[in-house]
Amino acid sequence: MSRIIDAGLEGLSSTLNRMGEMAYNAVSKSLLECLEGREAYNEIREISNNLLIMTEYVEDRAFELIVRYQPVASDLRRIKSYMKIAYDLTRFGRYALDISFTNKRLGGLRDCEEWIKTYIRETGGKVLEMIRLSMEALKNNDPKLARNISTKENEVDKMQLEFLDKLIESETTRKCAISSVLIMRYLERIADHAAYICESIIYIATGQKETLR
All structural domains of the chain, each given as residue ranges with its CATH number in brackets, are 4-206 (1.20.58.220)
pTM: 0.94
Per-residue pLDDT of the chain in tens (213 residues, 90 and over written 9): 578 899 999 999 999 999 999 999 999 999 999 998 888 999 999 999 999 999 999 999 999 999 999 899 999 999 999 999 999 999 999 999 999 999 999 887 988 999 999 999 999 999 999 999 999 999 999 999 999 999 999 999 999 999 999 999 999 999 999 999 999 999 999 999 999 999 999 999 999 999 988
Amino acid at 189: R
CA quadruple 112, 115, 118, 120: dihedral, nearest 10:
-60
User: For the chain, what is the radius of gyration of the CA atoms?
Assistant: 19
Which of 104, 96, 111 lies closest to 38 in space, CA to CA?
104
The whole-number pLDDT of residue 37 equals 80
The 3 state secondary structure assigned to 5-26 is HHHHHHHHHHHHHHHHHHHHHH
HSE (side-chain half, CA atoms, 13 Å) at 103: 25
Residue 124: predicted pLDDT: 97
Nearest residue to 138 (alpha-carbon basis) of 205, 58, 65: 205
